[in-house]
């Protein structure tokens, strides 16, 4: 049976969108016999289970409403752990969960991550070991780990804009020393945050979004047609180093007048500097959004997700420059946790791909989460 059908069946049951074979047939558009064959295979492999239930109270189709017993499908709990690490410029966060998007442990500490990749990853690893210890988990049972870093990543290698000596050319998976069986996914925090927010969007009509984190610096990520788009050098969506007319602040990239410098100063400033930074972000977004033509702009980071005044300034300024285009603006639903959750979701996909023997080609399909992590 085709791997994509297997994944779709598992995904629909996992997301609670399909409870019966009939639901699956309707949602996938395959014949009932084709669906029955896939379900039978997945039951035989121990991935799905079937339970005879009287669905008369909840049933949606005719047979169910007549009160006939119906066979309900459930995902069989699968052993193993999934982990995520989010390294920001000033924090280290980790999450640990099971194979079904159930985060059971989360921790976050302040840390100057830019100084040394080795130190930051060692700290993250010990936090992860502590989390496993709290749940009697073994390192050997960690099936996949998602790692979010605050720099561009190409082929799992960190390639900062400008030079960051503690991180230039680092391959985080080499420093983590995890068992070979643990799949490690390393990506830029804005890309992972964009993905983390995308999987939370309930409206299936939303296919493309721009994510901008604003706080200690500016980061950006793109989801286009349901896929993260990183670009050739891992910097697509990064609007932080676009020059702002009239701004003379020195930027971490070595130049002056970047949006990143303006927003960083505002995050430690007063309400009027926050509004000015919001207007500058809105102006830049109005200039670049026609390239992407998104449904939605999600604003994250300390300013984007915690300061409604900032979101209003961004959207007002955007609409002044782009009155014709309808784009929704929203604060990040996951707040500061967007990159961590994006890393966790991506790691879960990897864990699923190996545990459920899905072919590599199917890994490009995205597993969308059903609910916010606890």
Query: Quick check: 369 binds Zn ion (CB under 5 A)?
Result: no
CA–CA dist 176, 171 (Å, integer): 9
227-239 burial code (b ≥16 CB/10 A, e <16): ebebeeebbbbbb
**Residue 138 or residue 255: which is nearer to Zn ion going by CB?**
255
Closer to Zn ion at the Cβ: 98 or 160? 160
Measure Cα distances from 352 to 2, 80, 365, 366 in Å.
15, 11, 12, 11
DSSP-derived letter for residue 325 is S
Q: Least distance in Å: CB of 254 to Zn ion?
A: 7
Closest approach, Cβ 322 to Zn ion, in A, equals 24
Given the rule CB under 5 A, which of 59-67, 91-99, 249-257, 313-321 is the region that contacts Zn ion?
249-257
Q: Which of 56, 66, 57, 60 has the alpha carbon at shortest distance from 18? A: 60
Measured from the CB of residue 239, what is the shortest distance to Zn ion in angstroms? 11
Residue 17's closest CA among 276, 367, 353?
A: 367
Query: Cβ distance 233 to 154 under 8 Å?
Result: yes
Q: Which residues pair with 222 in a beta bridge?
A: 210, 229
Q: Which is nearer to Zn ion, 103 or 258 (CB)?
A: 258
Task: Kindly state whether residue 244 participates in binding Zn ion, applying the rule CB under 5 A.
Answer: no
Q: Are 173 and 184 in contact (CB under 8 A)?
A: yes
The stretch among 69-77, 82-90, 104-112, 236-244 that binds Zn ion (CB under 5 A) is 236-244
Q: Shortest distance, CB of residue 188 to Zn ion, whole angstroms?
A: 16
- We find the least distance from the C-beta atom of residue 273 to Zn ion, in angstroms, to be 18
184 binds Zn ion (CB under 5 A): no
Applying the rule CB under 5 A, the residues between 49 and 108 that interact with Zn ion are: none
What's the min distance (Å) between Cβ of 284 and Zn ion?
Answer: 13
- Of the ranges 190-198, 255-263, 304-312, 345-353, which one interacts with Zn ion (CB under 5 A)? 255-263
Q: Which of 152, 147, 143 is nearest to 94 (CA)?
A: 147
Instruction: Report residue 270: phi and psi, to 5°.
Output: -95, 180
Q: Which is nearer to Zn ion, 189 or 348 (CB)?
A: 189
What is the full DSSP assignment across 120-186?
HHHHHHHHHHHHHHHTT--GGGEEEEEEEESS-EETTEE--SS--TTTTT--HHHHH---TTSEEEE
Which residue stretch of 101-109, 192-200, 238-246, 265-273 sits at the interface with Zn ion (rule: CB under 5 A)?
238-246
Residue 251 in the binding site for Zn ion (CB under 5 A): yes
Q: Nearest approach, Cβ of 251 to Zn ion (angstroms)?
A: 3
Query: Residue 184 to residues 103, 172, 350: CA-CA distances in angstroms?
Result: 18, 9, 8
With contacts defined by CB under 5 A, name the span among 64-72, 127-135, 251-259, 301-309 that binds Zn ion: 251-259
Note whether 301 and 214 are within 8 A (CB). Answer: yes
Judge whether 159 and 169 are in contact, CB under 8 Å.
Answer: yes
- 253 is a contact residue toward Zn ion (CB under 5 A): yes
Applying CB under 5 A, the span of 37-45, 120-128, 247-255, 274-282 interacting with Zn ion comes to 247-255
Complex with Zn ion: residue 47 or 284, whichever CB lies closer: 284
Q: Which is nearer to Zn ion, 263 or 336 (CB)?
A: 263
- Tokens at 129, concatenated: 């070991």
Instruction: Choose, by CB under 5 A, the member of 91, 241, 275, 346 that binds Zn ion.
Output: 241
Candidates 9, 55, 258, 332; binder of Zn ion (CB under 5 A) is 258
- Enumerate binding residues for Zn ion (CB under 5 A): 241, 251, 253, 255, 258, 260
């Amino acid at each position: 049976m085709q791997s994509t059908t297997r994944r779709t069946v598992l995904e629909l049951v996992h997301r609670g969108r399909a409870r019966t074979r009939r639901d699956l047939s309707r949602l996938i558009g395959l014949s009932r016999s084709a669906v029955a064959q896939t379900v039978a295979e997945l039951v035989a492999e121990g991935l799905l289970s079937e339970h005879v239930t009287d669905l008369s109270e909840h049933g949606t189709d005719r047979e169910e409403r007549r009160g006939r017993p119906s066979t309900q499908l459930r995902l069989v709990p699968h052993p193993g752990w999934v982990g995520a690490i989010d390294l920001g410029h000033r924090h280290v966060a980790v999450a640990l969960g099971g194979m079904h998007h159930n985060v059971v442990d989360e921790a976050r500490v302040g840390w100057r991550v830019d100084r040394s990749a080795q130190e930051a990853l060692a700290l993250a690893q010990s936090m992860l070991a502590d989390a496993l210890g709290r749940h009697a988990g073994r390192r050997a049972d960690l099936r996949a780990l998602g790692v979010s870093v605050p720099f561009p990543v190409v082929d799992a290698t960190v390639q900062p804009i400008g030079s960051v000596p503690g991180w230039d050319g680092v391959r985080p998976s080499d420093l983590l020393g995890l068992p070979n069986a643990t799949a490690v996914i390393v990506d830029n925090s804005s890309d992972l945050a964009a993905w983390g927010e995308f999987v939370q969007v309930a409206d299936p009509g939303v296919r493309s979004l721009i994510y901008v984190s604003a706080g200690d610096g500016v980061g950006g990520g793109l989801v286009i047609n349901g896929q993260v788009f990183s670009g050739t050098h891992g910097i697509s969506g990064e609007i932080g180093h676009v020059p702002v007319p009239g701004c003379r602040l020195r930027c971490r990239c070595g130049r002056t007048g970047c949006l990143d410098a303006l927003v960083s100063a505002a995050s430690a400033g007063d309400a009027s500097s926050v509004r000015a930074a919001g207007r500058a972000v809105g102006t830049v977004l109005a200039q670049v959004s026609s390239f992407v033509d998104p449904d939605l702009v999600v604003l994250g980071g300390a300013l984007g997700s915690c300061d409604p005044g900032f979101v209003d300034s961004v959207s007002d300024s955007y609409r002044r420059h782009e009155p014709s285009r309808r784009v929704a603006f929203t604060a990040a639903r996951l707040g500061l946790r967007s990159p961590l959750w994006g890393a966790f979701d991506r790691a879960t996909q990897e864990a699923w791909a190996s545990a459920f023997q899905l072919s590599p080609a199917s890994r490009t399909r995205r597993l969308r989460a059903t609910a916010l992590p606890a």
